């Protein structure tokens, strides 16, 4: 273990007003490094049913994410020979944003999504969605009703899976022999370099390097045949995996070398990260407490899962922040877990007389600062929390 973030509430367990005086369930958030396969993981596994049966995160709330997924569709259909009506399956398909691009390109689509509120949203958006986790039984059902898929995608879902070997076996069952599996995960070198400690939460069981992923897929006689480096979620990778083993990918070799140079298999890299995270915690808390003491009005922007980790770990609660602005209807009018800050619609931000706004959704800095340019023009300031607290203003 190289980092302990303490006992924290689940990052997406927003509260109703009636619940804020109740004791909240807390779970340990300790992070481990495996010196055998270089995988970084948390070992306290909260049952997925507790976290994903009702889910507040909606993919289509960010234009940046929509652009990324539209590009994924283009890259995927370019990477293998596809025919009209070939099947594309998306695991953890959320509101169907990604599949909508495949559907408009003329392919058959099927979403697998466990959260009932989100699966309903996808169906309302016209995307056929099976409300289920991706299990062996689900695979048998898909094979009977839809047959094998030419493309299987999983964006920001693989890190959420406890039995990753079982998950890979399932994808192999459903994937056409000429097909491709495409996975997007946050990339651990980015997390380490940019101190993105708040992306560590109970939903994310694994934090992947290519070294760990390559070992994993090689063990299933599959090959990583291409890699795209992405800027989304603070730095991610999109990997293209063929069900055929022993294929060579020069770009993968290059990236594996870079990881070796970074020291990805050396525990010291992680210990250093943990030290920096500790320093950041006190810098951010001190900065915001000082501003508050001088009478400034401080709010936050975005109520992402990671924001709740940052607030709880740094001890920033409703005595410092008046409210959090967010555009997701499933989060509005609720309270942040542990810190009990009201989440309100982003449409009220410009009228809020905020002096300083903590950007919890720091991964959308450009999108949000562009959108809220008027606030900056009028003398407002954003506090960007990572990799060190920084103030963005036009003054």
Does residue number 363 form part of the binding site for ligand JHZ (CB under 6 A)?
A: yes
**Sole binder of ligand JHZ in the list 13, 38, 100, 156 (CB under 6 A):** 156
Binds ligand JHZ by CB under 6 A, chosen from 304, 337, 338, 380: 304
| Measured distance CA(239)–CA(225) in Å, rounded | 8
Interactions with ligand JHZ, residue window 46-65 (CB under 6 A): 57, 61-62
Termini Cα distance of the chain:
44
Out of 152, 306, 320, 336, the residue judged to bind ligand JHZ by CB under 6 A: 306
Question: Rounded to an integer, what distance in angstroms lies between the CA atom of residue 52 and that of residue 358?
Answer: 27
Site stretch for ligand JHZ (CB under 6 A), options 23-31, 72-80, 285-293, 320-328: 320-328
74 and 149 in contact (C-beta within 8 Å)? no
Identify which range of 33-41, 221-229, 260-268, 327-335 contacts ligand JHZ by CB under 6 A.
327-335
Q: Which residue has the tokens 């005086």?
A: 21
Q: Beta strands of the chain (E only): which ranges?
A: 3-8, 27-33, 40-42, 87-91, 108-112, 129-130, 149-155, 175-186, 206-207, 223-230, 236-242, 298-301, 324-326, 343-345, 356-359, 381-384, 390-393
Q: Would you count residue 305 as binding ligand JHZ (CB under 6 A)?
A: yes
Angle among Cα 250, 255, 261 to the nearest 5 degrees reads 130
Distance CA(23)–CA(18), nearest Å, equals 12
Nearest-angstrom CA–CA distance, 201 and 31: 10
**Candidate residues 346, 354, 357, 359; the one interacting with ligand JHZ per rule CB under 6 A:** 346
Q: Is there binding between residue 327 and ligand JHZ (CB under 6 A)?
A: yes
| Residue 182 contacts residue 239 (beta carbons within 8 Å) | yes
Site for ligand JHZ in 235-294 (CB under 6 A): none
In the complex, minimum distance from the CB of residue 9 to ligand JHZ, in angstroms, rounded to a whole number: 14
Residue 187 pairs in a beta bridge with: 208
- Of the candidate spans 69-77, 285-293, 300-308, 313-321, the one that interacts with ligand JHZ by CB under 6 A turns out to be 300-308
Q: How far is the CB of 367 from ligand JHZ (least distance, A)?
A: 5
**What beta strand segments (E) does 223-322 contain?**
223-230, 236-242, 298-301
Q: Which stretch binds ligand JHZ (CB under 6 A): 40-48, 252-260, 291-299, 322-330?
A: 322-330
Nearest distance, CB of residue 143 and ligand JHZ, angstroms: 27
Instruction: Summarize as ranges the residues that interact with ligand JHZ (CB under 6 A).
Output: 57, 61-62, 156, 186, 203, 233, 302-306, 326-328, 331, 346, 361, 363-364, 367-368, 371
């Amino acid at each position: 273990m190289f980092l302990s973030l303490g006992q924290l509430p689940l990052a997406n367990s927003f509260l109703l007003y009636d619940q804020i005086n109740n004791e909240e369930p807390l779970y340990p958030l300790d992070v481990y490094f495996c010196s055998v396969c270089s995988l970084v993981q948390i070992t306290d596994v909260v049952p997925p049913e507790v976290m994903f049966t009702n889910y507040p995160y909606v993919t289509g709330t960010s234009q940046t994410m929509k652009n990324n997924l539209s590009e994924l569709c283009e890259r995927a259909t370019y990477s293998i020979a596809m025919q009209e009506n070939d099947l594309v399956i998306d695991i953890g398909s959320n509101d169907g944003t990604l599949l909508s691009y495949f559907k408009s390109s003329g392919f058959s689509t099927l979403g697998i999504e466990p959260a009932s509120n989100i699966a309903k949203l996808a169906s309302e958006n016209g995307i056929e969605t099976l409300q289920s986790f991706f299990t062996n039984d689900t695979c048998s059902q898909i094979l009977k009703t839809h047959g094998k898929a030419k493309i299987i995608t999983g964006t920001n879902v693989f890190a959420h899976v406890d039995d990753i070997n079982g998950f890979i076996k399932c994808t192999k069952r459903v994937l056409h022999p000429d097909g491709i599996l495409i996975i997007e995960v946050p990339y651990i070198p980015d997390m380490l370099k940019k101190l993105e400690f708040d992306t560590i939460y109970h939903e994310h069981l694994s934090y992947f390097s290519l070294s760990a992923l390559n070992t994993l897929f090689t063990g299933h006689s599959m090959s990583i045949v291409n890699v795209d480096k992405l800027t989304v979620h603070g730095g991610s990778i999109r990997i293209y995996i063929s069900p055929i083993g022993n294929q060579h990918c020069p770009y993968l070799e290059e990236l594996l070398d870079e990881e070796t140079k970074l020291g990805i298999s050396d525990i010291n890299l992680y210990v250093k990260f943990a030290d920096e995270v500790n320093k950041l915690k006190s810098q951010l808390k001190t900065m915001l407490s000082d501003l508050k003491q001088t009478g400034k009005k401080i709010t936050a922007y975005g109520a992402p899962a990671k924001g709740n980790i940052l607030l709880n770990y740094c001890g920033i609660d409703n005595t410092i922040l008046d409210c959090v602005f967010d555009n997701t209807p499933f989060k509005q009018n609720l309270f942040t877990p542990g810190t009990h800050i009201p989440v309100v619609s982003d449409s009220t931000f410009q009228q809020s007389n905020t002096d300083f706004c903590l950007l919890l959704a720091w991964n959308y800095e450009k999108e949000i600062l562009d959108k809220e340019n008027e606030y900056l023009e009028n003398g407002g300031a954003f506090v960007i929390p990572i990799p060190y607290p920084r103030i963005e203003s036009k003054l």
